[in-house]
Structure 1
Amino acid sequence: MTDIKVIIPAYNEAESIAEVIKDIPDSVSEIIVVNNNSSDRTEENARAAGATVLIENRKGYGYACLKGMDYIAKQSKPPQIIVFIDGDYSDFPQELNKVVAPILEDDKDLVIGARVEQLREKGSMTPQQVFGNWLATALMRVLFGATFTDLGPFRAIKYDKLLTLEMEDKTYGWTVEMQLKALKNKLAYTEVPVRYKKRIGLSKVSGTVKGSIFAGIKILGWIFKYSFK
């Protein structure tokens, strides 16, 4: 049986985290929630729902993901696949097996859950999110010949391939860094369409002007950095 572990970065997701954990399929061997300096009951609710909970007090999406990876690296037996999903319940965790399927059936290295318009709840993505995804993926298409259409956080990757990427971004650039490095390392990748709904609570990135600006700068910075390599 394929060993699949899930990493969930979580900052103030007390209202949603248990729902995310509950809906993750039984095909997963361990659910790892990284409590990213939350001031609410995210940690307690995640533990009560049965997840392994790690503490990362340095705020940043990338910091949380790296904390989860460091925990896995210290385990005696590495998993075959890592799935990343947000803790806000905007994705449908029930679709995890669908996201993982191209790895198991077609030997893909990386699979992005693409939040296609037809499957998105109205208002689930802000206009700046939609534009940012379009701009970033359009630039990757022009500069690198990529076929990505989304920077969706719901994604699966072979663990050994993830290690070769040597991920380093600590904040908003984590998703685009992974996709750019996948291109550079010639990983076999694909996208699968996934459903997407309005998140529980306020987004820490797209829900604020500051977050949107910083995320945009970080994403474009990674793209232009790789365009000159």
Structure 2
Amino acid sequence: MRQALARTAVVIPARDEQEGIVRVLRDLPAVGVVIVVDNGSRDETARRAAALGAEVVHEPVAGYGRACLRGLRHLDERYPASVPDAPQWVAFLDADHADDPRLLPELVEPLAQDEADFVLGTRLKGACEPGALPPQVRWGNRLAVWLMARIWGFRYSDLGPFRVIRRAALERLQMTDLDFGWTVEMQVKAVLHGLRIVELPVPYRRRIGRSKISGTVAGTVRAGTKILYTIARYAWKTRGVPRAEGIPQNVA
């Protein structure tokens, strides 16, 4: 497993997470590269991440997907996939310490054993600390995964942010979403491209600091609307396309 982790890159989008990022980086097992994307923070997030050895890049325009894409661009520029021993798997993890970074080896294992291309940590099947997932988040997730199952025939249980994907598979997905639709875009495209998908239960705890999404009514509404819009958009663009045949050229 140590060798597999050495071939893993971890991308952590962070906006004003100076407390959480310290806990995340201290708990994270040794991996090939850790990329923290400072998404316009006004606190000490970037400085503290750099002090703990992370490679810090900056994306000043707010947006979860935008930050993830910036991290991937840095990965491709600094560690091209064609270079020997370049990271083979990419993990995504939030900076709020709600997920447990120490569980990364468990998520990498199915990829290292060539049993999966995409591993999703599902909070709804793990031990969830009371209050960690507000009711609106639980019901929103359930609605989203139900719609995805009805439309594309694959039943996810969650849209959790803690996930690991084979780098070559991620490149095929051609991710584009700049905001809250990032996670669902990846999951829809993983099904359409016929990736081998594994869900593993992960515990979930109260985050450090206030959520940018569920912490406010406006944030919850914006995120929920974007997720449903993303599902509707891909349902329209992929109508009539059998699963595993990939995404038509006009889908971006």
User: What's the TM-score, normalizing by structure 2?
Assistant: 0.88
Tell me, yes or no, if structure 1 residue 90 matches structure 2 residue 95: no
State the distance in 2 between where 1:124 and 1:201 align: 12
Which residue of structure 1 lines up, in the alignment, with residue 160 of structure 2?
152
Aligned CA distance change for structure 1 residues 157 and 117 (closer, same or farther; 3 Å): closer
> Per-residue deviation at 1:118?
4.9
Q: Give the aligned residue type for 1:164.
A: R
The equivalent residue for 1:217 is 225
Stretches of structure 1 lacking an aligned partner (at least 5 in a row): none
CA offsets per residue over residues 83-112 of structure 1, 9 Å max, x none? Answer: 000000000000001111111124311010
Partner of 2:28: 24
Query: 2:193 maps to which residue?
Result: 185
Letter in 2 for 1:11: R
Q: Specify the alignment match of 1:175 in structure 2.
A: 183
Asked which structure has the greater CA Rg, the reply is 2
Q: Offset at 1:191?
A: 0.3
Aligned to 2:11: 7
Equivalent residue letter for 1:194: V
**RMSD of Structure 2 on Structure 1 (CA):** 1.1
Tell me how far apart the structure 1 counterparts of residues 140 and 106 of structure 2 sit (CA, whole Å). Answer: 25
Structure 2 counterpart of 1:120: 128
- What's the offset of the Cα at 1:41? 0.4
State whether residues 126 and 202 of structure 2, in contact with CA within 8 Å, keep that contact through their aligned partners in structure 1: no
Aligned residue number for residue 143 of structure 2? 135
CA distance in 2, matches of 1:105, 1:136: 30
Residue of structure 1 in register with 2:241 after alignment = none
Counterpart of 1:53? 56
Percent identical among aligned pairs is: 43
Tell me how far 1:63 sits from its aligned partner: 0.7
Letter of the structure 1 residue corresponding to residue 21 of structure 2: I
Structure 1 position 207, deviation (Å): 0.8
> How far off is 1:180 after superposition?
0.5
Which residue of 1 is the match for residue 171 of structure 2?
Answer: 163
In structure 2, what is the Cα distance between the partners aligned to 1:7 and 1:176?
17
CA drift at 1:117: 5.2
How many residues align? The count is 228
Residue number among 206, 221, 225 corresponding to 2:214 in the alignment: 206
What is the TM-score normalised by the length of structure 1?
Answer: 0.97
